[in-house]
Amino acid sequence: MNKPQSFFHLHLISDATGETLLAAGRAASAQYKDARAIEHIYPLIRTEKQVAKVFDDIEEEPGIILYTVVDQKLARSIDERCAAMGLPCVSVLEPVLAVFQSYLGTPAGRRVGAQHVLDAEYFRRIDALNFTMEHDDGQLPANMDDADIVLI
């Protein structure tokens, strides 16, 4: 007889896109083959009012809370709300930032979405994607000399 598959709610709260949390949450939950995570993703949470709304949702479907919020006041609010509800929560970046701070001897900059810098390299990649889409399936062959690589 097969054991019924269990599930749990995994709440991911981020002040940016939530990509970091999603990767960490999925990596951890993949280690539990008999328990399926129902993911609740809350991106761009940057105010106390937004945190309150998130916790209204969490109250309906309690579970594990992972978060990446660089504003320490909001992080404390999340920790306090989790403690009041008796729910486990983890600030995914804090232990890593603490190690960096200890090793580098300087505190983190605490910039929201800092890994998503819109620099020259980012725009070069976007231009390459746009070029690829414009020239897909042999479209605009006159511009092929501008390609870095052509796959046939």
- 135-147, pLDDT tens digit by residue? 787 787 777 777 7
Domain count along the chain:
2
User: What average pLDDT does this structure show over 51-68?
Assistant: 97
Query: Is residue 137, in this structure, part of any structural domain at all?
Result: yes
pLDDT of 63: 97
| Number of CB atoms found within 10 A of residue 64's CB | 18
Claim to verify: residue 14 and residue 54 sit in the same structural domain: yes
CATH number of the domain at 29, please: 3.40.50.2300
Helix (H) / strand (E) containing 124: helix 120-134
| Of 140, 130, 137, nearest in space to 151 by CA | 137
User: What average pLDDT does this structure show over 110-138?
Assistant: 70
Bigger pLDDT: 148 vs 13: 13
**pLDDT(96) > 50:** yes
The domain containing residue 65 runs over which residues?
6-104
User: What average pLDDT does this structure show over 50-62?
Assistant: 98
pLDDT of 3: 54
* Residue 21 and residue 14 in contact, taking contact as beta carbons nearer than 8 Å: yes
Rounded Cα distance, 68 and 13, in Å: 6
Claim to verify: residue 100 and residue 121 sit in the same structural domain: no
**What tokens appear for 20 in the block?**
């970091």
Sheet strands (E) in 57-99: 64-68, 89-91
**pLDDT(114) > 80:** no
Q: What is the pLDDT of residues 1-53, one digit of tens each?
A: 455 559 999 999 999 888 889 999 999 999 998 999 999 999 999 999 999 99
